[in-house]
Structure formats: structure tokens, C-alpha cells
Structure 1
Amino acid sequence: MKLVITDANIFIDLDFCGLIKVFFDLGLSIVTTWEVINEMSEPQQALYEHWVINGALVVHEFTLDKLSEAAINKANNRLSDVDQALLLLAIQLQAMVLSGDRFLRKACERLQVEVHGILWVFDQLILGNLITPGKAAEILSSLQTFNERLPSDACEERLIRWKENSGEQSA
């Protein structure tokens, strides 16, 4: 079972897309921190509390010591405390990071920590037959209006491929 440390922006996008349940059906070992949970709105926190209670989401209480903080800061001094904690947790647990945060992703790459974003999650949902390519294209199109930070080229490439795989023609 792949261990993934998940950032708030992934949880927020999953909530917007209505994909929370199928995300937890991927068979991943999903971990985050209380600081990440606290970055979400209260209704979103309540949604994820269910997954914490049933054990599908493990939430770490985490504090950075000065030595760890210095090491992470060398990778990227633009990281928030929450992102520093996520990155350090990923290093300690030898886990992959799921995040759409540009600075966190770059720091992961510098430290050779595997990192992916919401598009990877869509890919995994399709590969796991949890959603169809056509449904993924429909949801991603909607998500692009909500999350303007998504990489437009990568989104467009997937939309074309998924629509072709579902028998739809792109406009």
C-alpha cells in the first residue's frame, strides 16, 4: 500500500469534485497533519473527520525541531510551517507527497521526494476503474474553473485523451 502525505489543496479539490469517497477507495495509506486539517473550512473538516474516525485517514500531530527546519529551509525558504511539516513527515516516513502547492512541489523535487498533484489522483482513479475517463473529463473541466492554478497544458492533454477514450470528441 503506497503511503501518501496529503496537503490541504488536494483535499479541497477532492471535496469540490465530489471525489472524497473514491479517493479513499484507491487503496492508498493516506496521512496528513492537524495543521493541514485546520487549513480547511469547518464543513470540509467535518467531512474528513469521518475518515479519521474510521481509520482511513491518519493525522499526525507534528512540530518542527530547529535542525529539521533548517534542513527544509535549505530546500526552499518560501515554505509555510505547514508545508515544512508535510515535507519533513514525507521524508521521515519515506512517503510520497500529494500537493498542488508550487513551492512545496519544488522543494520535494530538490530533496528527491516523490510528489504528485490532483491530476495524478485523477489518473489513479481512472486506472483503478473508480471513475470513467468521460466522467474524469467532466469533473476536471469543472475543477479548472474552481482551481485556476492547475497546469493548463497538462489539463488540456488529459481532457483530450480522456474524451477520446470515452468516445467523445473535443471541441
Structure 2
Amino acid sequence: MRILISDTSCLIDLRKASLLEAFFQLPYDLVIPDVLFEQELVQFSNIEKELIAQELRIVSLPGEGVVRVQSVSRDYPALTLNDCFALVLAEQTPNCILMTGDRNLRNLATSSGIEVHGVLWGIDEMYSARVATANQLYSALLLFKADSTVRLPVYDLNRWIERYQSQ
């Protein structure tokens, strides 16, 4: 099974749209760096954290990985420290997919040869795997559009809304 490493922004967006359970049914080994789980998912309820802990593999980077995180953080100040943890974990995981909503992280990971996707790809994956209906996904996309804290490319989001509206 292919490994999918997610940053927390994607999980937070999926949670807002009540799609976490469907997302966890996808045929991927879902992984998140322990630092991201501990620091960025604090607003999740205990039940949601338990669900995530059951469905996600929470991974610690070894010492040399942490050294690499520090190096990436110095070299790419536009990335948050947690983005650096996700990137380094992806670098150390052959043939993985990195799921992120951060443009800077996406660009750096892509230039490093890492396959990168975002929430809209996740929407398509859930539909293809039949773990969510077109109507559920359409509603989620409308919610994303209305939520100023969800930062998806407007043009792409509108295309996905049109696609799922007509399904």
C-alpha cells in the first residue's frame, strides 16, 4: 500500500467538511509526523484525535531527520517548521505522496521529485474509491468556498464545484 504523508492543513480542511472518516477509508497508508499531530491538531476533539490516531501512523523522525529539518528550515524560511518536518519525512519515504495545501512546500517537494497533491485531489480520490458521494463532496466544496480559512486556488475550486454539481 502506498504511503500518503499529510500536512495538518489538509486534515483540518477535511475535518471542517466532515470528510475525515471517508478520507481514512482510502487505500493508502496514512502517515503524519508526530510533531504535526501534537502541535497542530489541538483544536480537534478527543474523539477526533482518537480516530486520527487509529487511522494514521504517527511517525517520529530519527536524529538525522531532525538535523535535516533544521537545515531545510534555515534554507527555506518561507516554510514553517512543521512543513519542514513533513517534507523531510517525505524525502525519507520512497515512492510516497505528500498531501499539502502549502504552495511553498508543494514547490520544494515537487522540485525534490516528491509526488505532491492537495485536498482537491483527495476529493477526487474519495469519489473514485466510492467512500463519499458526489453530493457529499459537492457540499464540502461549497463549504470550502465559503470558509475564508480554507485556502484553495479559487479557479480550481470553482472547477471542482462545477464538476461535482453535475455528477
TM-score normalised per structure 2: 0.86
2:97 matches 1:131: no
Aligned counterparts of 1:119 and 1:105: Cα–Cα separation in 2: 14
What SS does the aligned partner of 1:5 have?
strand
* Residue 145 (structure 1) aligns with: 146
| CA 65–82 in structure 1, closer or farther in 2 if over 3 Å, else same | same
2:15 aligned partner, one-letter code: D
| CA 122–24 in structure 1, closer or farther in 2 if over 3 Å, else same | same
Question: Size of the alignment, in residue pairs?
Answer: 162
* Residue 154 (structure 1) aligns with: 156
| CA 48–28 in structure 1, closer or farther in 2 if over 3 Å, else same | farther
* Residue 56 (structure 2) aligns with: 57
Deviations 1:127-163 (A, max 9, x none): 1111222321121111222234111111111111111
Aligned counterparts of 1:100 and 1:15: Cα–Cα separation in 2: 14
What SS does the aligned partner of 1:89 have?
helix
| CA 93–164 in structure 1, closer or farther in 2 if over 3 Å, else same | same
TM-score normalised per structure 1: 0.84
1:60 aligned partner, one-letter code: V
Report if aligned partners of 1:12, 1:44 keep a CA contact under 8 Å in 2: no
What SS does the aligned partner of 1:43 have?
coil
